[in-house]
Amino acid sequence: MAFTSPRAWAFGVLGMQAYLGRFPGDREIQHHRNTLANRLLDIYARSSNDTWHWFEKSLSYSNARLPQALILAGWHSENKTMFAAGIESLEWLVAAQHRGNDGIFVPIGSNGSFSEGKERSRFDQQPVEACATISACLEACRLTQDDHWRAEAHRVFDWFLGKNDLRVALYDATTGGCKDGLHPDRVNENQGAESTLSFLMALLDMQPSCETSAEKTYPEMSVPC
């Protein structure tokens, strides 16, 4: 495990935890999961401060996967410090991606980044960010039993349906695909694999949430074969 990318560590943790869901007694995989999760916790401790609760000095892509990895690994390894750091960083990320008082989801734009002490990049907004944030929020809801995380997931999913900066839906009911993102002045009409899979993964995550929530339901969405 010589790779050095924090996002690679996070995806490794998430993959290994999924495996452990089926084979919980595999001590070698538990060890590797904990190794990568502790690397994330270490860089979080070194990078975060009173106003910047993050793993690095800038945010770029698939951001929510980092706190999600700490939340899952901390819970399953009974590491309270790790779990608390995951919740803290996810709360900070969610707040950073709110638009003013209306609470519309505005993910960190891919045309740049968000560095400490500097203005964040607002565009281009990518479906992969919404997918990651929904997954992390629903994981936090499941483990903490705090329904505000479910509300956050619903808010983020609405970004796909038109509650975004441009008030344009990215989900295409005709094709079952998802448009590639939001530019400052228009939607990216391409429906690439990453965007469509991000939407479908988010939809699968949201379905059990909708079934258990009296707060909101979504119409059934058809996806052509």
Q: How much is the pTM?
A: 0.91
Token pair belonging to 182:
């939001």
Average pLDDT, whole number, for the chain?
90
Q: For residue 51, is pLDDT > 60?
A: yes
100 burial type by CB count under 10 A (0-12 exposed, 13-18 middle, 19+ buried): exposed
Q: Could you give the residue ranges of the DSSP H alpha helices within 24-180?
A: 27-47, 65-76, 80-96, 127-144, 148-160
Sorted by sequence, the CB contacts under 8 Å of residue 75 that are 6+ apart come out as 83, 143
Token pair belonging to 222:
């058809």
Q: How far is CA 190 from the centre of its chain?
A: 22
Is omega for the bond preceding 205 within 30 degrees of 0, making it cis?
no
Q: How confident is the model at residue 225 (pLDDT cuts 50, 70, 90)?
A: very low
CA distance 122 to 161: 19
Q: For residue 204, is pLDDT > 90?
A: yes
Please tell me the least confidently modeled range out of 63-72, 144-153, 209-218.
Answer: 209-218
Q: For residue 224, is pLDDT > 80?
A: no
Domain parsing of the chain, residue ranges: 1-96, 112-214
Token pair belonging to 124:
């281009």
Q: Is 196 left (phi over 0), alpha (psi -120 to 50) or beta?
A: alpha
The predicted structure's pLDDT at residue 28:
97
